Homo-oligomer: A and B are copies of this chain.
Amino acid sequence: MITIKDIAERAGVSYATVSRALNNRSDVSSETRKLIMELASEMGYQPNAIARSLVKRKSMNIALIVPDVSNPFFADITMAVNSAAENAGYTTMVCNTGWDQQKEQEKLRIMVEQRVDGIILKPTGFFKPETLEAYNVPIVVFWHAGDDDLSYIEVDHETGSRMAVQHLVDRGYKHIAYIGGQETSPSNQIRLLAYQQTLQENGLVVDPKLISFGGFRLESGYERFGKMMHLPKPPDAVFCSNDIIALGVLQYTREHNIRVPQDFGIIGFDDINYASLPQIELSTVSQPRDKLGEEALLALIREMEAFPERTRQRVLIAPELKVRSTT
């Protein structure tokens, strides 16, 4: 690999001058600059970003740490962060934690060792903010804001849930169920609360029998919904905590010839990519991934600029209602 010294030698100048020319700084005569530029491209010079990072103490790399890039949701986020970072002149290192807390710590460590200028993290589960602060690196977390010093970003689950339930009410459904995810999941709690409040605000009763918690999986949705339909007073619509659960419900209605949306309304949350397939056409609340990714990067840039001060940002992204043929 050829270096600025090689160029300097051929050009008969000091390598400091080569460096100046290559970074097109003003204090080089135009002739020398021209000569150096030509030589550089002729010799196939490729600047060494590692050496530059070392002296500049800035790598122009950022890290994105997510549980699983092959999950369409995170894949979209990755894309969005990537392109936003690119526009800002940064290169992204993407890490998977595989929903493993320990791996998450390891990835964080590796990224710090790589001296990335900042980190965007979607934590695998609960985490101690102190741990992250200890890494002493600009960081933005996809999570509900705590009262610590970190910067957070997330979609506005409350607004999203209200939109979903209000939409069902507006469509004329009266007996609306909630099929949620893990009871311990904080976002699940937020969604549940919004569901209850929206019903009450519309003068509808909240029936505890129509509230269910369980796995965020298709089978789980199918099964729990099936039980609900055997209730003396079954629901006529359901708000599902995510699209996968909704897919399970949809399957049940198909198999039992329940007419959707005439006799029954279904709405999900997330807008995963196949929700819009012609065979599915699921109404849902979209978490705009492009926006999330973009805003996460902007927040990170602000954080990096202020570092080592923490900016303590709390960014909330507005969800979007996607009305399709299941409501």
Contacts and interface: CB of A to CB of B under 8 A. Distances in A.
A88 interface: no
Interface size range of chain A in the complex? 35 or more
A231 interface: no
Contact of A75 (B48, B72, B114, B250): B72
A112 B72 contact: no
Contacts of A94: 69, 78, 82, 92-94
Interface in A1-55: 1, 44, 46-51, 53-54
A116 to B, nearest CB: 10
Contacts of A79: 68-70, 96
B69 A82 contact: yes
Contacts of A295: none
B114 A91 contact: yes
A279 interface: yes
Contacts of A115: 48-50
Contacts of A49: 113-115
B50 A59 contact: yes
Contacts of A78: 69-70, 94
A280 interface: yes
B75 A70 contact: yes
A14 to B, nearest CB: 21
A121 interface: no
A1 B254 CA distance: 60
Interface in A46-84: 46-51, 53-54, 59, 61, 68-72, 75-76, 78-79, 82-83
A96 B50 CA distance: 21
Contacts of A93: 61, 91-94
Contact of A279 (B68, B112, B134, B254): B254
Per CB-CB distance, the 4 closest pairs between chain A and chain B, nearest first, are A70-B79, A75-B75, A49-B113, A70-B75
28 contacts: A44-B134, A46-B109, A47-B113, A48-B113, A49-B113, A50-B54, A50-B114, A54-B54, A69-B78, A70-B75, A70-B76, A70-B79, A71-B75, A72-B72, A72-B75, A72-B273, A75-B75, A82-B95, A83-B96, A91-B95, A91-B114, A92-B93, A94-B94, A250-B279, A251-B278, A251-B279, A254-B279, A273-B274
